[in-house]
Structure 1
């Protein structure tokens, strides 16, 4: 199985598991919390068929990657992405971040620039800044909201993930849009993540301010978001990112929940591929 060593921590290598499918311009798919690269299954075949080389990887702490005790801040996660990009020598690549993965897209471009990047996509993504503060009154999360996540993950984690996956695929004021077996499949993916990584990443995606990162975007960017997302509401994330990123494109999936790359895969894939081909 392909791995790339991205760091040494406590004298142990930190290895990211990745997969490469197809040929053509590279598209790097960065998964959300608390899943793995497997969550991109509905996108891989359509992208390969459209002539792209698709790279998926498991964030440290998730999937088949190393599960160290530390290193779940966005500076480190963006550094991991850079190590993968450098190891594979990717050029003219598109980077697509779903939910938490949108933070890696933002921090990568903010820290390392666009030398290897041709396009960026923020899908149901957490930027620009979820935590509500005096200078960020439009943030969607308050301390008690974040604490509920942390308590759930540190308590009966599997029960928490069971409820989370229901909300993940259910539009606001709607009904679950996937089969029970498919929902449970995603719950299982999440359940095998490192509990420590699952906990620490809540703090990372909740408290990290990406506003300055977004101002540094200098590549064509697509923001794609469901207007019925009850996990990362469009109004506090996708809309604001679109407003900050100069000349960004916006695609709203009507009735789309958070996991709209699964529930609305055909529309999601069409918007993504049209943007990549533009």
Structure 2
């Protein structure tokens, strides 16, 4: 297993598959998951000849269960260290949910030549929490509820999220996939409770407006219009207005976890944008 050790001593686990001289695609996972959430995409792009890389964010998966640094600036700094370690050039960065916020913050700060394109999938930018500046956002009480449920019984909370709104399995007529629920739960429970608790503030209260404005590379924004976790009206539909070179693609009826439930549709769309 491959790790880098960051400046503050945190060990970050990562996968690096495929030809080292091929164009790299870097995948950034959502909360509270791990690099394993990208299995369907990594296998797809590996077969297409790309170099595919995915890391476990600090406090998640196999990385150190940190009790500090569980916020977006440090997450992006960890990606900068990983990109430097692997000397990534002309990379495509794809982020899902919280990972989309991490991509925005990283790409806005990346060294010249490191990033070719960015893709934000069901992503949290510009900002989730409701405020005077963001009146249509999600009330802070919702995220307080997440924190309370995590602290009280994280194992049950993660089953409830995966078995309900994350994949849309709570919708009438939905085909429930027990293996997908169990895999979500497995990934979540490997990570640290403190880091996951802190990350709720990171994904809900971080304002990515300036990051989106600073991104100059072509950026694809993808989201399902039945996303019950990150409401599309307060996410993709606002993000696209802030990007210099953005393209918005909306998927009718798709849930938050559409990269898993509809990988057969999204993977070719990702490829088309990367090759364009």
Q: TM-score normalized by structure 2?
A: 0.95
Question: How big is the shift at 1:172?
Answer: 7.5
Structure 1 segments of 4 or more deviating over 2 A?
109-115, 171-178
> Which secondary structure state, in structure 2, belongs to the residue aligned with residue 218 of structure 1?
coil
1:132 aligns with 2:130: yes
Question: How big is the shift at 1:51?
Answer: 1.9
Q: 1:170 aligns with which of 168, 171, 182?
A: 168
Aligned residue for 1:200?
198
Spell out, residue by residue over 1:76-130, the C-alpha distance to the aligned partner (whole angstroms, 9 max, x if none): 0000000000000000001111100011111112233553000000011000110
Aligned partners of 1:185, 1:118: CA distance in 2, in Å? Answer: 31
Q: 1:92 aligns with which of 78, 85, 90?
A: 90
Q: 1:159 aligns with which of 143, 151, 156?
A: 156
Number of residue pairs matched by the alignment: 273
Aligned partners of 1:267, 1:205: CA distance in 2, in Å? Answer: 26
Task: Call closer, same or farther: CA 1:277–1:172 in 2, change over 3 Å.
Answer: farther
> Which secondary structure state, in structure 2, belongs to the residue aligned with residue 251 of structure 1?
strand
8 A contact 1:3–1:17 mirrored in 2 = yes
Aligned residue for 2:50?
52
Aligned partners of 2:210, 2:172: CA distance in 1, in Å? Answer: 35
8 A contact 1:6–1:14 mirrored in 2 = yes
8 A contact 1:171–1:230 mirrored in 2 = no
Aligned partners of 1:101, 1:119: CA distance in 2, in Å? Answer: 15
1:14 aligns with 2:10: yes
Greater displacement, 171-180 / 13-22: 171-180
Aligned partners of 2:219, 2:157: CA distance in 1, in Å? Answer: 33
Task: Call closer, same or farther: CA 1:132–1:113 in 2, change over 3 Å.
Answer: farther
Q: 1:249 aligns with which of 240, 247, 250?
A: 247
Aligned residue for 1:4?
4
Gaps in structure 1 of 5+ consecutive residues = none
> Which secondary structure state, in structure 2, belongs to the residue aligned with residue 127 of structure 1?
coil
Question: How big is the shift at 1:14?
Answer: 0.7
Aligned partners of 2:216, 2:210: CA distance in 1, in Å? Answer: 13
Task: Call closer, same or farther: CA 1:202–1:158 in 2, change over 3 Å.
Answer: same
Greater displacement, 174-183 / 96-105: 174-183
Aligned residue for 1:222?
220
Spell out, residue by residue over 1:11-39, the C-alpha distance to the aligned partner (whole angstroms, 9 max, x if none): xx211111111121000000000000000
Aligned partners of 2:96, 2:112: CA distance in 1, in Å? Answer: 19
Question: How big is the shift at 1:54?
Answer: 0.3
1:147 aligns with 2:163: no
Task: Call closer, same or farther: CA 1:175–1:217 in 2, change over 3 Å.
Answer: farther
Q: TM-score normalized by structure 1?
A: 0.94
